[in-house]
Structure 1
Amino acid sequence: MPDDPPLIQSLRTAVAAAPADVPLRLHLAQLLLDAGRSDEAVTEAAVALQHAPGDTQARELMVRAMGAPAPSPAQPPAQRRGFDWQAAEQQVGDVVPPRFVEAPVRADGQDDSAGADAWDVEAPGEVRLDDVGGMRDVKDRLEAAFLAPLRNPELRKLYGKSLRGGLLLYGPPGCGKTFIARAVAGELGAAFLSVSVNDVLDMWIGNSERNMHEIFETARRQAPCVVFLDELDALGAKRSRTAHSGMRNTVNQLLTELDGIESAANEGVFVLAATNVPWDVDNALRRPGRLDRTILVLPPDGPARETILRYHLRDRPIENVDLGKLVKSTEGLSGADLAHVCEAAAERALLDSARTGTVRLINMKDLLAAAKDVVPSAEPWFTSARNVAMFANEGGMYDDLVAYLKKRRKL
C-alpha cells in the first residue's frame, strides 16, 4: 500500500515474491500488529496457516491479532483454550477460501446426492431429418426400419411390425452419425440422452453397472426418450477380448437393459447407437431384439456436401463462390473435413489480409486450395473396412458396405 512504512513495503514485496515463505509472512504480520493494523495481521496469519496448518507461532499471532489473550506457556495443555476456527473463518472469509468445499463421498466413491436424475436429458429438439442434407438412402432406411412403424401404430399392428430392438449407425468418423441420431429424436418429438464411455465407467466395482441401469431408468422416466450410445465399441466391446471382469459386467448390464426394450416398463424408450468399428462390438448386442437394425452412414453425397458447405460459410465474408464446383472438388470428404476446408480457407484470407494490410474476402481460390490440402479422413477407415467386408461378412452383415466399396472400385 502507498502509505506503508518502507520496512513494511519491503516485506510486502518479499512476501509477494515468495508467498510460501511462512516465517517471512509472519514477520510481516507481526509488524502490522505492532502498527495497530490488526485486520491486516489476521489476514497474513491466516494465509500462513494455509501453508503451514500446524504452525504454533502463526496460531498464537492470529489469536493476538483477533484480540484474544495468548495462552500462557505455564498453563497445562489440557486447560488451554483451543483455536476457534469458526471465528477465524468468519474474520477472513473474504480472503481465504473455505477449508471444505465438497460433501464427503461414501467409501465406494458414490456421491449420496447423485441419483438417476443426475444424467443430462435434452428436451425435444427442433432438428429434423429434413435438416440433414442429402443422404437420401440413409433417410429412406430410417423411415422404413424405424420411423414409419412408430408414426403409424395402427398399420404397425395390422402388419405385425415389431418395435423390438434398436438401431446401430456405423461408418467412418466425422460423417454425422450423432447429428442423425438427434434428427431421429426430433422426428419422434422425444427427449435425447447421449451416453459415452465416460458417463458409465467407474473405478469402483459395481458402479459402472449401476450407472448403466440409472441411465435407462432416467430414460424411462423421461419417455418418450432416445438413448444414444456413442462409441458403442467402447461401451460394448467384445467380451472375448476383454480381460477386465468389470468391463464384461458392464456389457452384461447393457444386454440386460436392451432385453427389456419391448416390455411395458420401456414403452417410449428408443435406443440408437453409433460406432466407427462395428466389428469390435460384442456379437450379442447385435442379435435380434437388441441393436438388430444397422445403417451405414457414409461420407456426405453431393447435396449433403453443398448443405454442409453453405452452413460453414454462412457467417463468413465470401465472394464469387461457385458451390457446384466446390462440391465436385470435395468428393470423399467427411462433414468434419468440409468444416476444416472452410476454416482453412478463412485462415488463408485472414493471413493475406494481415500481411498486405488490406482486408479481402474469402474467394474460390482460397477454398479450392484448402480442399486440395485436406486429406480425406475416411480413407484409413475404408482400408480397414475393406478387409472386414472381404473376409468377415458373416450372414451378409456388411452387404451395404460391400456394395459401396464395389461402386467405388475399392473391392
Structure 2
Amino acid sequence: MTDPLLTSLLAAVEAAPADVPLRLHVAELLLARDRAAEALQHTTTALANAPGDPAALALLQRVTRALSDPPNPPTNPLPTVHPPTQPFPVRALPEPTENDPASFDWGQAEEQVKDFAPAPAFVEEAGDPVVAEAERPAVRLADVGGMEQVKERLELSFLGPMRNPEMAKAFGKSASGGLLLYGPPGCGKTFLARAVAGELGASFTEIGIADVLDMWVGASERNLKAVFDDARRRAPHVLFFDEVDALGQKRSHLTHSSSLRNTVNTLLAEMSGDNDGVYVLGATNHPWDIDSALRRPGRFDRMVLVLPPDEGARAAILRRHLEKRPVEGIDLGKLVKATEHFSGADLAHLVETAAERALADSMRSGQVRPLTMKDLQAALKEVQPSTGPWFATARNVALFANHDGSYDDLAAYLKKNRRL
C-alpha cells in the first residue's frame, strides 16, 4: 500500500536534493518501515552534502546495524530431523586424479585472477590531488588605484624584506612568514595579492576552499600538502589562500569535526616547513575566526587592513568601468564624493545598474543613448554600500577584543568614521 506522507516527502527531497535535514527525516521514516536499503542511500547522500554531520553519522550507524542484523527467526521452525538409528555404510573415497576437481589448486587460481577481478560497484576511492594551475600576473602595485597607505604598508612589512633579504637580515628583519590581508568583502584583496606576485616577479596560485576540502577521510590533508609541495617546486612562488578562515578556523570551534581539525593542523605544519622562496598570502573577511596558532611568527605574522577604496581609488575604479561604455556629461568628482564607503564590487554594480537603464531606453528607441549622470544618480538610490554590516561586526572586535593591538588600524579608522 502507498504511504501518502512518505510519498510527499520523497517528492520534496527530489525537489530539494541538498536539504540535509529533510533527507535525514526521510531516511528515518524508511528505516522505521523496514526499508533500510533505501534509508542507507539517503543517509550517504546527506553525508556527501554535509561531511561529518553528527546526525547523519548516528543514523548511518543505525542503518548499517539494521542491514547487518539477521532476520527474525520464522514463527514455524522446520521440524527437527533425528539421525537414523542405523548408520549409513561408509565407503572409501577413490584417490583424486589430475583432472579431478578435488585436486584443483584454488589458492593458485586466486593469485592468477586477483589482478583482473573488478572491484565491487559500491567501492569508491579518493582520487589523486589536483592542484590549481599557476599563473604569472602582469599587474603591479602601480596598477592599483589609490590605497597609498596599504601600498606603503605592503612595501615596508613584506615586499621590501623580500626584495632585499641580505639587508633585512642585517637589521634582524625576517623575510619568511606570511601576510594576511583582511577587510570588508569586495575591496580588492585578491587583486592586491596578484599585484604582490607581480612586484616579486613570482608565479601565483590562488587556492580556495573547494581546492582543499574533500569528503574522504585524510584527502583534505593530502590536498593541502600537495598545494605546498607544488609551490615549493615553482619557487619563487606566491601561494594565495582566499577566505583562509574557512581552512584555518579556530580548533576550539571544531570539537565535532575531527577532519577539519586535522586540516587546520596540516596547514600549521606546512606553513612551518621549509618554504624558502614560497610567499604565503591569505585573505579573509573574518580574521577573528582564524586559529590563533596561524598568527604566530613564521605563519601569518603580518596583517594588513584593506579598507574600502579611497577617493583616488574610487575615481580609478569608476573610470575603468565607464571607459568602454558610451557616456555623456559624467561628473566623476561628484560621483566619487557620493560613493564614500562603497567597495570596489559596489562601484562595479553601481555602473552596471546605471548602464541597464541607458540600455533599456536605447532598446525602446532603437538608438544608442549614452549613459549620463542622471542614470548614475538614479542607480545610487538603488545601490547602497555593502560594507556596513562588516563594520558593525568589526567595531565590536576593535573595541572589546583588541588586547594585543592587532586591530589598531581598524580602531583608528572606525574612530575617524563614527557614522559607520
TM-score (norm 1): 0.71
Q: In the alignment, which of 257, 260, 263 is matched to residue 250 of structure 1?
A: 263
| Offset, 1:287 | 1.4
Mapped to 2, the partners of 1:187 and 1:104 lie a distance apart of: 53
Task: Report the counterpart of residue 10 of structure 2 in structure 1.
Answer: none
Residues 212-291 of structure 1: pairs in structure 2 closer than 5 A:
212-242=224-254, 243-260=256-273, 263=274, 266-291=275-300
- With over 3 angstroms needed to count, the CA separation of the structure-2 counterparts of 1:207 and 1:105, relative to structure 1, is farther
CA apart distance, 1:161: 1.3
- Deviation string, structure 1 residues 120-161 (Cα, Å, up to 9, x no partner): 333321110001100011000000000011112231122121
Q: State the 1:164 CA deviation.
A: 2.8
Provide, for residues 378-406 of structure 1, a one-character-per-residue CA deviation record: whole Å limited to 9, x for no partner.
Answer: 00000111111111112111111000000
Alpha carbons of 1:255 and 1:106: their partners in 2 closer, same or farther (altered >3 Å)?
farther
CA distance in 2, matches of 1:222, 1:297: 28
Matched residue SS, 2:371: coil
SS in 2 for 1:127: coil
Matched AA of 1:405: L
> Would the aligned equivalents of 1:171 and 1:275 in 2 still touch at CA under 8 Å?
yes
Q: Aligned residues: percent identity?
A: 63
Identify unmatched segments of 5+ residues in structure 1: 1-102
The SS at the match of 2:282 is: strand
Paired residue for 1:110, among 113, 126, 140?
Answer: 126
Cα separation, 1, equivalents of 2:243 and 2:418: 29
* Residue among 128, 146, 152 paired with 2:164: 152
Maintained 8 Å contact 1:108/1:204: no
* Alignment partner, residue 4 of structure 1: none
How far did 1:331 drift?
1.0
Residue 106 of structure 1: CA displacement?
11
Partner of residue 342, structure 1:
351
Selected match of 1:193 from 192, 199, 205: 205
* Aligned residues: CA RMSD: 1.8
Q: What SS class does the counterpart of residue 239 from structure 2 fall into?
A: strand
Instruction: Return the offset for 1:328.
Output: 0.8
Is this contact kept in 1: 2:197–2:238, CA < 8 A?
A: yes
State the distance in 1 between where 2:165 and 2:227 align: 27
SS of 1:409's partner is coil
Distance in 2 of aligned mates of 1:250 and 1:386 = 30
Flag structure 2 segments of 5+ consecutive residues without an equivalent: 1-118
Q: Is the contact between residue 135 and residue 205 of structure 2 (CA under 8 Å) also seen in structure 1? A: no
Q: Which amino acid aligns with 2:260?
A: M
Change (3 A) 1:369 1:151: same
Q: Counterparts of 1:220 and 1:108 in 2: how far apart (Å)?
A: 31
Deviates more, 1:149-158 or 1:173-182: 149-158
Report how far residue 371 of structure 1 moved. 2.3
Which residue of the partner structure matches residue 132 of structure 1?
Answer: 144
Task: Give the match for residue 396 of structure 1.
Answer: 405
Q: 1:104, CA displacement in angstroms?
A: 11
Normalising to structure 2: TM-score of the pair? 0.69
How many residue pairs end up in the alignment?
301
Checking the alignment, whether the CA contact within 8 Å between 1:135 and 1:301 is kept in structure 2 is: yes
Conserved in 1, the CA contact under 8 Å of 2:237 and 2:278? yes
